[in-house]
């Protein structure tokens, strides 16, 4: 006789107690199966949480200003912490394929770490992200001189760029997203740039596991502008070692070759047949030590790629997959370029949890206009004029495979 686990007991009135016990065992087994399924599918058991914004104090700047820390959480448990100093993304927790969360961004545990020496971990970068050659440019016939903070060049907005200023913050919560609006007014002449620039950056975390960064700005005098975010990712988790095994796809057939000081030569070159060809997913480390001139000059990857696009608007710039954790990061942007940087200047300085961050322990995908555009008339313009609004959007999408 074939044994049916349920039938004989359910219909036998003399077996009340075994019926209850078997029912409870069944319920217990079903729960175990559900938990195992959720873990296997990369869905966290905490997947049914609530959208949340939390505000607390992170520390005080040397001149006595309070730095606030906002925590945004979505219903799948993805959580990011952002502080008002530098608009810095302090942490970003996402699940791996088994549902285990890890912080996939490099940084420091305390404000003091960021104040001491921060290689732009998580920071908003401006007024001009990336380099301006010889730290000068001419606009409408007038020459402007900037601080040389990177060899002969100006880098990432100057000595006190947007990564080192306090932003005014206002959080928001809607039915399927939470976010933070950050505002900063950069005075006319700040860091050598013309015009009062009013900047608004909106960070939004939604229930589609997307984190978006929306930049807007207006000015009262013509000025160059190139805003980006400098988050250092390691999809296996910060502090877990090198990212050389993570696989990158860049939606870019071309890049802007650089000279020895990492200023674009002005040419736009094809990646075809070079170690800069990531049009098909390739391990970041597969060719990084090739004796290819551009890699030698960059000490690894530190190049602006020209994103393939058919029309304006959001386009896929990059996809990174970490085979060990199964985490996938996709980057969409409205920008024409993306700086792919393999953390070549990380020097072993300890970060979160005393983790030592060495060269190539993280990658950055800095969506932006091309470096040195104010001195390169053939590159898309980075000049914002009065009466116009600068607008740029980048979306990071998280999933597992
Ligand atoms: C950008 C630059 C790099 C380096 C980092 C910050 O990615 O292209 O050369 O300056 O910022 O360390």
Per-chain mean pLDDT for the chain:
91
Determine the Cα–Cα distance for residues 298 and 274; give it in Å rounded to an integer.
14
Distance 158 CA to ligand 1 centre (A): 13
For 52-80, the pLDDT digits (tens) are 999 999 999 999 999 999 999 999 999 99
For 279-323, the pLDDT digits (tens) are 999 999 999 999 999 999 999 999 999 999 999 999 999 999 999
Mean pLDDT of 360-389: 98
For 219-256, the pLDDT digits (tens) are 999 999 999 999 999 999 999 999 999 999 999 999 99
DSSP secondary structure, 108-158, as one string: -SSHHHHHH--S-TT-EE-SB-SEEGGGEEEETTEEEE----BTBBEETTS
Concerning whether 230 is annotated as a catalytic residue, the answer is yes
Options 79, 177, 230, 303, the catalytic residue:
230
User: Residue 48: what pLDDT?
Assistant: 63
Strands 79-83 and 282-283: unpaired
Distance 119 CA to ligand 1 centre (A): 8
Q: Which residues contact 209 (CB under 8 A, 6 or more apart)?
A: 74, 76, 78, 94, 397, 398, 399
Distance 235 CA to ligand 1 centre (A): 19
Residue 12, pLDDT above cutoff 70? no
Residue 46, pLDDT above cutoff 80? no
Residue 359, pLDDT above cutoff 50? yes
> Could you report how far apart the first and last alpha carbons of the chain are, in Å?
44
Q: Is 121 in the pocket of ligand 1 (CB under 6 A)?
A: no
Which of 364, 367, 370, when mutated, tests ligand 1's pocket best, judged by the most ligand atoms within 8 Å of its CB?
364
Q: Is 261 in the pocket of ligand 1 (CB under 6 A)?
A: no
Q: Is 262 in the pocket of ligand 1 (CB under 6 A)?
A: yes
User: Residue 345: what pLDDT?
Assistant: 97
Determine the Cα–Cα distance for residues 131 and 148; give it in Å rounded to an integer.
10
Distance 155 CA to ligand 1 centre (A): 8
Q: Is 345 in the pocket of ligand 1 (CB under 6 A)?
A: yes
Distance 374 CA to ligand 1 centre (A): 18
Q: Is 264 in the pocket of ligand 1 (CB under 6 A)?
A: no
Q: Is 129 in the pocket of ligand 1 (CB under 6 A)?
A: no
For 86-105, the pLDDT digits (tens) are 999 999 999 999 999 999 99
Residues 120, 130 contacting (CB under 8 angstroms): no
For 321-347, the pLDDT digits (tens) are 999 999 999 999 999 999 999 999 999
Q: Is 120 in the pocket of ligand 1 (CB under 6 A)?
A: yes
Which residue minimizes the CA distance to atom 7 of ligand 1? 341
Instruction: Pick 24 or 299 by higher pLDDT.
Output: 299
Q: Is 172 in the pocket of ligand 1 (CB under 6 A)?
A: no
Structure tokens given for 257 = 């070759």
DSSP 261: T
Residue 179, pLDDT above cutoff 70? yes
Residue 7, pLDDT above cutoff 90? no
User: Residue 373: what pLDDT?
Assistant: 98
For 77-88, the pLDDT digits (tens) are 999 999 999 999
When mean pLDDT is compared across 35-39, 153-157, 194-198, the lowest value belongs to 35-39
Question: For the chain, what percentages of helix, strand and coil (3-state, to nearest 5) are there?
Answer: 15, 40, 45
User: Residue 101: what pLDDT?
Assistant: 98
Which residue minimizes the CA distance to atom 4 of ligand 1? 345
Distance 342 CA to ligand 1 centre (A): 9
């Amino acid at each position: 006789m074939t044994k049916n686990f349920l039938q004989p007991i359910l219909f036998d009135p003399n077996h009340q107690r075994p019926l209850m016990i078997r029912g409870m065992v069944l319920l217990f087994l079903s729960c175990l199966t559900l938990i195992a399924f959720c873990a296997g599918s990369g869905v966290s058991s905490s997947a049914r949480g609530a959208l949340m914004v939390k505000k607390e104090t992170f520390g005080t700047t040397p001149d006595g200003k309070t730095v606030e820390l906002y925590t945004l959480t979505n219903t799948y448990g993805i959580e990011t912490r952002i502080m008002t100093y530098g608009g810095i993304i302090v942490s970003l927790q996402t699940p791996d394929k088994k549902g285990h969360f890890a912080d996939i961004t490099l940084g420091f545990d305390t404000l003091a770490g960021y104040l001491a020496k921060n290689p732009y971990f998580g920071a908003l970068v401006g007024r001009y992200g990336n380099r301006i050659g010889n730290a000068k440019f001419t606009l409408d016939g007038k020459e402007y001189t900037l601080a040389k903070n990177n060899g002969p060049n100006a880098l990432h907005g100057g000595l006190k760029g947007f990564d080192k200023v306090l932003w005014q913050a206002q959080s928001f919560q809607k039915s399927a997203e939470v976010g933070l609006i950050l505002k900063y007014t950069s005075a006319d002449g700040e860091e050598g740039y013309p015009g009062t620039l009013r900047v608004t950056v909106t960070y939004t975390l939604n229930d589609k596991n997307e984190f978006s960064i929306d930049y807007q700005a207006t000015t009262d005098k013509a000025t160059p502008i190139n805003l980006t975010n400098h988050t250092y990712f390691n999809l296996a988790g910060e502090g877990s070692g090198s990212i050389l095994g993570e696989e990158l796809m860049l939606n870019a057939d071309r890049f802007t070759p650089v000279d020895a000081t990492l200023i674009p030569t002005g040419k736009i070159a094809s990646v075809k047949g070079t170690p800069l060809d990531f049009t098909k997913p390739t391990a970041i480390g597969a060719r990084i030590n090739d004796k290819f001139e551009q890699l030698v000059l960059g000490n690894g990857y530190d190049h602006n790629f020209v994103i393939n696009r058919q029309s304006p608007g959001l386009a896929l710039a990059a996809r990174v997959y970490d085979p060990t954790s199964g985490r996938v990061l996709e980057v969409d942007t409205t920008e024409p370029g993306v700086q792919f940087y393999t953390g070549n200047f990380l020097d072993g300085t300890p970060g979160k949890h005393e983790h030592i961050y060495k060269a190539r322990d993280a990658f950055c995908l800095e969506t932006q206009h091309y470096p040195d555009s104010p001195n390169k008339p053939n590159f898309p313009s980075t000049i914002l004029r009065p009466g116009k609004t600068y607008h740029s959007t980048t979306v990071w999408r998280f999933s597992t495979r």
